[in-house]
Structure 1
Amino acid sequence: WESNGLSNPWLHSSFCSQLRTLRGSILEEALPLSARHATPRGIPPKKLLEHVMPELSLQCLRLASSSPKVPETLLKLDEQGLSFQRKVGVLYCMAGQGSEEDMYNNEEGGPAFQEFLDLLGERVRLRGFEKYRAQLDTKTDSTGSHSLYTTYQDYEIMFHVSTMLPYTPNNRQQLLRKRHIGNDIVTIVFQEPGALPFTPRTIRSHFQHVFIVVRAHESCNGNTTYSMAVSCTKDIPPFGPFIPAENAFPHSPAFRDLLLAKVVNAENAAERSGKFHAMATRTRQEYLRDLALHHATTSTLEASSSRLALIALAAKKREKARAPKGAEAHSAGALVWGVWARDGGRGAEGKTPPELRCLLGVSAEFLVLIDAREKRVVFNCSCRDILAWTFSESCTLDLYYETGDYICMRVDEGQANDIRDIVHRLQLVTRGCETRELTLLRNGVGQLGFQMDHEGFVTEVERFTFAEKAGLQPGARLVRVCERPLPSLSHAQTTELLRTEVSSHVVIVLLLLALRFHGKLRRSEGGFGKENTDKGG
Structure 2
Amino acid sequence: MSVIVGNSEFRPLPNNPGAKITGVHESLLQECEKDIIWYRDNFFGKSHQNYLALDSPRGPLAISVIRDADTYKALLRTTAGSERLSVSSSSIPTSFVRRLFGLGPSTVNLMEGISRNIPVRSLRMCKEPNLPNELLSMEERQVIRSYKFGVAYVAPGQCSEEEMFSNRNENTSPAFKQFLNFLGETIELRGWKGYRAGLDTSGSNLTGTHSVYTKWQGYEIMFHVSTLLPFIPGDRQQLERKRHIGNDIVVIIFQDSDVPFQLGSVTSHQNHVVAVVKPEGENYRTIVAPKNGVPGFTPDLPEPCVFGQDAVSRDFFLHKLVNGERASYKAPSFAPKISRTRSVLLYEVASKFLK
Report the CA distance shift for 1:297/1:72 in structure 2 as closer, same or farther (over 3 A). closer
Structure 2: how far apart are the matches of 1:191 and 1:169?
Answer: 23
Aligned counterpart in structure 2 of residue 103 of structure 1, from 152, 164, 180: 164
Aligned counterpart in structure 2 of residue 179 of structure 1, from 233, 243, 254: 243
Question: Where does 1:284-299 land on structure 2 (aligned, <5 Å)?
Answer: 284-291=342-349, 295=352, 297-298=354-355
- 1:183-227 Cα distance to aligned partner (Å, 9 max, x none): 1111000011x3421122112210101110000124xxxxx2221
Aligned partner letter, 2:79: S
Aligned counterpart in structure 2 of residue 240 of structure 1, from 289, 298, 314: 298
Aligned partner letter, 2:352: H
Aligned partner letter, 2:227: T
Aligned counterpart in structure 1 of residue 217 of structure 2, from 153, 172, 177: 153
Q: Is the 8 A contact 1:65 1:296 kept in 2?
A: no
Q: Is the 8 A contact 2:112 2:120 kept in 1?
A: no
| 1:285 CA displacement | 2.5
Question: Where does 1:182-197 land on structure 2 (aligned, <5 Å)?
Answer: 182-192=246-256, 194-197=257-260
Report the CA distance shift for 1:53/1:149 in structure 2 as closer, same or farther (over 3 A). farther
Q: Secondary structure at the match of 1:229?
A: strand
Report the CA distance shift for 1:187/1:58 in structure 2 as closer, same or farther (over 3 A). closer
Structure 1: how far apart are the matches of 2:156 and 2:309?
Answer: 20
Report the CA distance shift for 1:271/1:58 in structure 2 as closer, same or farther (over 3 A). closer
Q: Is the 8 A contact 2:232 2:238 kept in 1?
A: yes
Q: Secondary structure at the match of 1:184?
A: coil
Structure 2: how far apart are the matches of 1:290 and 1:213?
Answer: 42
Q: Which runs of 5+ in 1 are unaligned?
A: 1-6, 27-31, 219-223, 299-537
| 1:288 CA displacement | 3.5
Report the CA distance shift for 1:139/1:71 in structure 2 as closer, same or farther (over 3 A). farther
Q: Secondary structure at the match of 1:275?
A: coil
Structure 2: how far apart are the matches of 1:120 and 1:287?
Answer: 35
| 1:130 CA displacement | 2.3
Aligned counterpart in structure 2 of residue 92 of structure 1, from 153, 157, 161: 153
Structure 1: how far apart are the matches of 2:119 and 2:328?
Answer: 37
| 1:251 CA displacement | 3.3
| Structure ID, larger Rg | 1
Q: Secondary structure at the match of 1:269?
A: helix
| 1:280 CA displacement | 1.3
Structure 2: how far apart are the matches of 1:259 and 1:57?
Answer: 43
Structure 2: how far apart are the matches of 1:284 and 1:179?
Answer: 27
Report the CA distance shift for 1:99/1:25 in structure 2 as closer, same or farther (over 3 A). same
Aligned counterpart in structure 2 of residue 22 of structure 1, from 65, 83, 101: 83
- 1:421-462 Cα distance to aligned partner (Å, 9 max, x none): xxxxxxxxxxxxxxxxxxxxxxxxxxxxxxxxxxxxxxxxxx
Aligned counterpart in structure 1 of residue 261 of structure 2, from 198, 217, 220: 198
Aligned counterpart in structure 1 of residue 335 of structure 2, from 267, 270, 277: 277
Report the CA distance shift for 1:216/1:48 in structure 2 as closer, same or farther (over 3 A). same
Q: Is the 8 A contact 1:77 1:284 kept in 2?
A: no
| 1:295 CA displacement | 3.3
Report what 1:435 is aligned to: none
- TM-score, normalization by structure 1: 0.44
Q: Secondary structure at the match of 1:212?
A: strand
Bigger Cα displacement from structure 2, 46-55 vs 256-265? 46-55
Structure 1: how far apart are the matches of 2:121 and 2:315?
Answer: 53
Structure 1: how far apart are the matches of 2:302 and 2:83?
Answer: 37
Aligned counterpart in structure 2 of residue 230 of structure 1, from 280, 284, 288: 288
Structure 2: how far apart are the matches of 1:65 and 1:51?
Answer: 17
Q: Secondary structure at the match of 1:267?
A: helix
| 1:287 CA displacement | 3.4
Q: Is the 8 A contact 2:211 2:224 kept in 1?
A: yes
Aligned partner letter, 1:198: F
Q: Is the 8 A contact 2:207 2:229 kept in 1?
A: yes
Report what 1:143 is aligned to: 207
Report what 2:227 is aligned to: 163
| 1:24 CA displacement | 6.3
Report the CA distance shift for 1:124/1:88 in structure 2 as closer, same or farther (over 3 A). same
Work out the percentage of aligned pairs sharing the same amino acid.
Answer: 37
CA RMSD in angstroms comes to 4.0
Q: Is the 8 A contact 2:111 2:120 kept in 1?
A: no
| 1:170 CA displacement | 1.0
Is structure 2 residue 321 aligned with structure 1 residue 263? Answer: yes
Q: Secondary structure at the match of 2:287?
A: strand
Q: Secondary structure at the match of 2:157?
A: coil
Q: Is the 8 A contact 1:70 1:295 kept in 2?
A: no
Q: How many residues matched? A: 276
| 1:233 CA displacement | 1.3
Q: Which runs of 5+ in 2 are unaligned?
A: 1-44, 49-65, 67-73, 88-93
Aligned partner letter, 1:295: K
Is structure 2 residue 177 aligned with structure 1 residue 119? Answer: no
| 1:47 CA displacement | 8.6
Structure 2: how far apart are the matches of 1:172 and 1:69?
Answer: 55
- 1:206-255 Cα distance to aligned partner (Å, 9 max, x none): 0101110000124xxxxx22211112212222223233223333333333
Structure 2: how far apart are the matches of 1:84 and 1:229?
Answer: 26
Aligned partner letter, 2:191: G
Aligned partner letter, 2:168: E
Structure 1: how far apart are the matches of 2:135 and 2:208?
Answer: 34
| 1:289 CA displacement | 4.2
Q: Secondary structure at the match of 1:177?
A: helix
| 1:72 CA displacement | 6.3
Structure 1: how far apart are the matches of 2:119 and 2:159?
Answer: 61
Q: Is the 8 A contact 1:237 1:270 kept in 2?
A: yes
Report what 1:129 is aligned to: 192
